[in-house]
Amino acid sequence: MTRQEILQQIQTKKSYLCVGLDSDFSRIPKHLMKYDDPVFEFNKQIIDATKDLCVSYKPNLAFYESMGVKGWQSLEKTMKYIPEEHFTIADAKRGDIGNTSRMYAKAFFEEFNFDSVTVAPYMGIDSVQPFLDFEGKWVILLALTSNKGSNDFQFASQDGEMPLYEKVMRTAQTWGTPEQLMFVVGATHPEKFKEIRQIAPDHFLLVPGVGAQGGDLQKLSEYGLNDVCGLLVNSSRGIIFASDGEDFAEQARASALKLQKGMSEILDNILV
């Protein structure tokens, strides 16, 4: 999917919402257990209930892998069910030596037809390059993550010059363009978005941490948006587990709608 197609969708739907399909089997409503594949049925109903409100879906690979072969099958079916217009993200946080990263890229881009994959930067250029080599596909590189542990290594000054997350962002901009590379920046660091937009003015940012993790949409958007939007804000648990009853899809829609309404208002101010 091209950058232009993502931007087009954001404008049409007045939304930069990504719905995270962290479809934890143990939290799926009981009444879905009668289905052959409860995880797929859950995803299907979530997608039906939210697809006009979001521009992206982000299956979290861990929740599928933890179910072995069955989970892989649920993921395959889910990927086929997501409408073509949606930007799909394999939230996998992979990254390995070149020949191995190439295999992961093949898995996500060819086997499952994802538009993008999240990649960890620790191993450097040859762990990222094989993903960038796929035309029309995207790398979403971890920069400043949303979790507590982001404090352990990401803020330390690198050779006295800049924090690690900034070095990752500056270095990676020599590897990939804004047409193929995004960065993960957690919503739990809203005070950092102004600075981050200076480091990477044109790259899309994928922002997890709104909802269950406590990030604030208004605050991060204020500084995180660029003049074409440039944000994809993800909510997972806050949407898909808004209710654990038979009304889970309705409640998911209500949660997604609340975020989309906020986004629509914010976008009205920048997209004239």
Residues that bind its own copies (CB under 8 A): 22, 24, 60, 62-63, 65-69, 72-73, 76, 91, 93-101, 103-104, 106-107, 110-112, 120-128, 142, 145-154, 156-160, 164, 167-168, 171, 208, 213
Structure tokens at 148: 């507590």
Measure the CA–CA gap between 140 and 117, rounded to whole angstroms.
6
Query: Which letter does DSSP use for residue 192 in this model?
Result: G
Best CA proximity match to 139, nearest among 148, 149, 130:
130
91/115 with CB nearer its own copies: 91
- Name residue 42's amino acid: F
Among 93, 192, 194, 261, the one annotated catalytic: 93
- Identify whether the C-beta of residue 19 lies closer than 8 Å to the C-beta of residue 44: no
Measure the CA–CA gap between 171 and 148, rounded to whole angstroms.
24
Structure tokens at 247: 């009304």
User: Can you tell me whether residue 55 is helix, strand or coil?
Assistant: coil
96/250 with CB nearer its own copies: 96
190/230 with CB nearer its own copies: 190
77/228 with CB nearer its own copies: 77
Instruction: Give catalytic status of residue 93 as yes or no.
Output: yes
Structure tokens at 260: 């989309």
Q: What are phi and psi of 88, to 5 degrees?
A: -105, 135
Structure tokens at 42: 């859950």
Question: Which helix (H) or strand (E) is 91 found in, with range?
Answer: strand 87-94
Mark residue 253 as left, alpha or beta (left: phi above 0; alpha: psi -120 to 50; beta: remaining): alpha
124/268 with CB nearer its own copies: 124
Measure the CA–CA gap between 264 and 15, rounded to whole angstroms.
6
Q: Which residues are catalytic?
A: 93
